[in-house]
Structure 1
Amino acid sequence: MESHNTLSFITTGDGVRLAYRFDGSTDKPVLLLSNSIGTDLHMWDVTVPQLAQHFYVLRYAARGHGASDAPTGLYSLDRLGRDVVELLDALGLQRVHMLGLSLGGIVAQWLAIHVPERIDRLVLSNTAAHIGPTQYFDNAIAELQRAPDIQETAETFLRNWFPAHMLEANDPAVEPFRRALLATPREGIIGGWTAVRDSDLRRTIALIPHPTLVIAGRHDTVTSARHGEEIAAAIPGAQLRMLDTVHLANVEAPDAFIELVLDFLAVHEPA
């Protein structure tokens, strides 16, 4: 059975609606994708067609983003992780591969630590076990709360996500991300920032038992190559691969990104 282009919802235990969708064939292994702050499940649009040839791809919009609800207040990493557990429970999925980028990679680390039985193979892209200092996030949150709109914050995100040449050339790949940012409630951005600000997985990721691929961008200024190196060094047996990208490696270098992910996950596909 094929499932495409259908947005569905679950409601979490604390009453938040989360949007999700499947792509691909139900007879394939499930691969769960988790998005970054300021994006929704469409951040994977360029990536999904090839992934769906090999996997039944499940993607969702984190609370505060896309078609998911955006409750006011601080979000915690525990809450964002439990959202995913509740999604898997609602869909009757016991164990999945997981690919997370940026905040999605932090959530993926949480799942691998706290509910390791739900994860098979793990891909952590352009992410970190800890991002500091706290003051950076406090200042960004205060500025966004004072701002009349999200315009300036959106442009800052884009400068951090893409190389200057893509922005200056008005690369068509960038515009969907600008639209997604401008449509993101500030509660979602602030909630994501608080979850990142208050999390530190540097010690506990050593507990992750899964085969793990870490992808880092050599020019990433959000989660640097050093952050990727630190994760790969801490997780037993993890593989580290560098791409010549900034932050959204799946968009900037889609072919190289897909090749790394498929090479790693295909090892575990059933014959």
Structure 2
Amino acid sequence: MPVHYVVDGPEDGVPVVLSGSLGSALAMWEPQVRPLTEAGYRVIRYDHRGHGGSPVPDGPYDLADLGGDVLALLDRLGVGKAHFAGLSLGGMTGMWLGAHAPERLLSLVLCCTSAKLGPPEMWADRIRAVREGGTGSLASAVVGRWVTPAFDAGRRAELEEMVASTSDEGYAGCCAAIEVMNLTGELAQIPVPTLVISTSEDAATPPPHGKAIAEAIPGARFAEVGGAAHLGNVERPDEFSDLILARLAAR
């Protein structure tokens, strides 16, 4: 699947792939672009299939599809190995890559994510809701989980538009991937240097989910950022950028 992508930073920089959450587009990583490129990294942002500017194949999708899209993107760009940072669905994709294609990764940063996020009925209900009402009907509730009540109202509206502009088929297809996902048995197989970041106010994937991932991946480190909900890289950009940069430099 030839996903939509944007590359920033020096052509000869070490590549870093940034992978977003369900219902987002690659613009969600905008706060991290300048810190990473100024540090000399080649930043590759992309939209999941069915999201942003990427094609919308018929669903349902699974994590092998989403991970395969990343591998195909690396091949298109001639990148043998890259650092990978993913948030929520992006983190799930990163865990799949760490277990199934570790030879393509330099390191992993797994943000505000989970190795198993149930119950499945919750995702079946979400799929039904988007089929009936479209992504616009979910946008306010989704962003309500993404950020804390104190988050700027204007920027909240921009995030709601990001969700609402996501294809119904693409959103439902990725929900289906999460519905059946269970990576818990594969985490111990991940040999890639890994940092797991959770946020204190994340109701979608609370810190115990991140701690469980870090405890299961050999040698992984865990960090918790305060004062942010699910989209921690947007709500606490400096803290997230610093943590990501520290992980990249530690390789």
Which letter does structure 2 place at the counterpart of 1:249?
G
1:220 aligns with 2:202: yes
Which letter does structure 2 place at the counterpart of 1:22?
V
What percentage of aligned pairs have identical amino acids? 38
Task: Give the SS at the match of 2:138.
Answer: helix
Task: Give the SS at the match of 1:264.
Answer: helix
Greater C-alpha radius of gyration: 1
The alpha carbon displacement at 1:151 in A equals 2.5
User: What's 1:150 paired with?
Assistant: 135
User: What's 1:89 paired with?
Assistant: 75
Which letter does structure 1 place at the counterpart of 2:231?
L
Deviations 1:97-129 (A, max 9, x none): 000000000000000100110001110000011
Segments of structure 2 that go 5 or more residues without pairing to the other structure are none
The alpha carbon displacement at 1:150 in A equals 2.6
- 1:257 equivalent among 234, 240, 245: 240
The alpha carbon displacement at 1:190 in A equals 0.5
User: What's 1:246 paired with?
Assistant: 229
Over 3 Å counting, the alpha-carbon distance change for 1:126 and 1:53 in structure 2 is same
Task: Give the SS at the match of 2:69.
Answer: helix
Q: Give matches, 1:148-187, under 5 Å.
A: 149-166=134-151, 169-170=152-153, 172-187=154-169
The alpha carbon displacement at 1:264 in A equals 1.6
TM-score computed with the length of structure 2 as normaliser: 0.96
Q: Give matches, 1:1-271, under 5 Å.
A: 12=1, 17-54=2-39, 55-147=41-133, 149-166=134-151, 169-170=152-153, 172-244=154-226, 245-268=228-251
Segments of structure 1 that go 5 or more residues without pairing to the other structure are 1-11
Which letter does structure 1 place at the counterpart of 2:140?
E
Q: Partners in 2 of 1:21 and 1:27 — Cα distance? A: 16
Q: Partners in 2 of 1:78 and 1:34 — Cα distance? A: 15
Q: Partners in 1 of 2:18 and 2:244 — Cα distance? A: 12
Deviations 1:62-108 (A, max 9, x none): 10000111122201111111111111111111100000000000000
Which letter does structure 2 place at the counterpart of 1:250?
N
The answer to whether the Cα contact below 8 Å between 1:173 and 1:251 also exists between their aligned partners in 2 is no
The alpha carbon displacement at 1:176 in A equals 2.5
Which letter does structure 1 place at the counterpart of 2:245?
L
Q: Partners in 1 of 2:132 and 2:159 — Cα distance? A: 23
Which letter does structure 1 place at the counterpart of 2:25?
D
Task: Give the SS at the match of 1:173.
Answer: helix
Q: CA RMSD in A?
A: 1.1
The answer to whether the Cα contact below 8 Å between 2:26 and 2:52 also exists between their aligned partners in 1 is yes
Which letter does structure 2 place at the counterpart of 1:261?
I
Q: How many correspondences in the alignment? A: 249
The answer to whether the Cα contact below 8 Å between 1:126 and 1:217 also exists between their aligned partners in 2 is yes
The answer to whether the Cα contact below 8 Å between 1:95 and 1:117 also exists between their aligned partners in 2 is yes
TM-score computed with the length of structure 1 as normaliser: 0.89
Answer 1 or 2: which has greater helix percent: 2
Flag as ranges the 4+ runs of structure 1 deviating above 3 A: none
Q: Partners in 1 of 2:224 and 2:238 — Cα distance? A: 14
